């Protein structure tokens, strides 16, 4: 490949990865064309991008960015996976694909989170974290719980008092 072509490919890759701070690296070697189409469609439905790149070009394109550690120790061709609702959702989807029998050759190889390289084991560990939506649900439950308790403590005695007054008035009428 000529230097001109390499520069064009590197510039294209820089443009595609612009604004991306976290990504995963996966192995897609061994997937046939039809399976790859199904894989890409499934990822696209979840707003996740997948691009197969040569590691040397990826290193050149990500040099000096937070994505650079993802490609430091890799050899051969790899697929860069990024996007999704949040990083944990991305990791969960990639690990699910890794476990899937439909995509046996697909394998999570690592990635980068906040400029720190991730191993394949660390990626599987992150997949057990709650996603952004789950974290917001937990937080809102924790925030509303004391208020719910306070409200029941304030209205409980008043309700009991009203019930007792009603019983006394019924007894007085009889």
Mean pLDDT value of segment 138-159: 78
Taking residues 124-147, what's their average pLDDT? 83
**Is-above-0.85 flag for pTM?**
no
How does DSSP assign 43-57, residue by residue? HHHTTEEEEEEEHHH
Domain ranges (residues) in the chain? 3-129, 131-174
* CATH code of the region 3-129: 3.30.70.1730
* Residues forming a β-bridge with 50: 81
| pLDDT band, very low/low/confident/very high, at 45 (cuts 50, 70, 90) | very high
Looking at the chain, the whole-number percentage of residues with pLDDT higher than 70 is 100
Torsion angle of C-alpha atoms 160, 163, 167, 168, degrees rounded to 10: 70
Q: What is the pLDDT of residues 116-129, one digit of tens each?
A: 888 888 989 888 88
Residue 56 has pLDDT above 80, yes or no: yes
pLDDT of 25:
92
């Amino acid at each position: 490949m000529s230097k001109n072509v390499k520069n064009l490919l590197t510039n294209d890759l820089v443009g595609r990865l612009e604004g991306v701070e976290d990504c995963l690296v996966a192995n897609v070697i061994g997937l046939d064309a039809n399976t790859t189409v199904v894989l890409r469609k499934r990822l696209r439905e979840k707003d996740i991008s997948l691009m197969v790149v040569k590691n040397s070009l990826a290193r050149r394109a990500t040099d000096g960015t937070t994505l650079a550690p993802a490609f430091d120790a890799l050899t051969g061709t790899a697929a860069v996976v990024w996007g999704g609702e949040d990083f944990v959702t991305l990791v969960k989807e990639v690990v699910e694909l890794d476990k899937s029998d439909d995509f046996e050759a697909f394998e999570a190889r690592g990635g980068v989170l906040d400029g720190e390289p991730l191993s394949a084991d660390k990626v599987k560990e992150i997949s057990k974290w709650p996603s952004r939506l789950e974290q917001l649900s937990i937080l809102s439950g924790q925030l509303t719980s004391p208020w719910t308790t306070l409200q029941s403590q304030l209205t409980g005695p008043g309700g009991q008092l009203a019930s007792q007054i009603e019983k006394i008035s019924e007894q007085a009428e009889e």
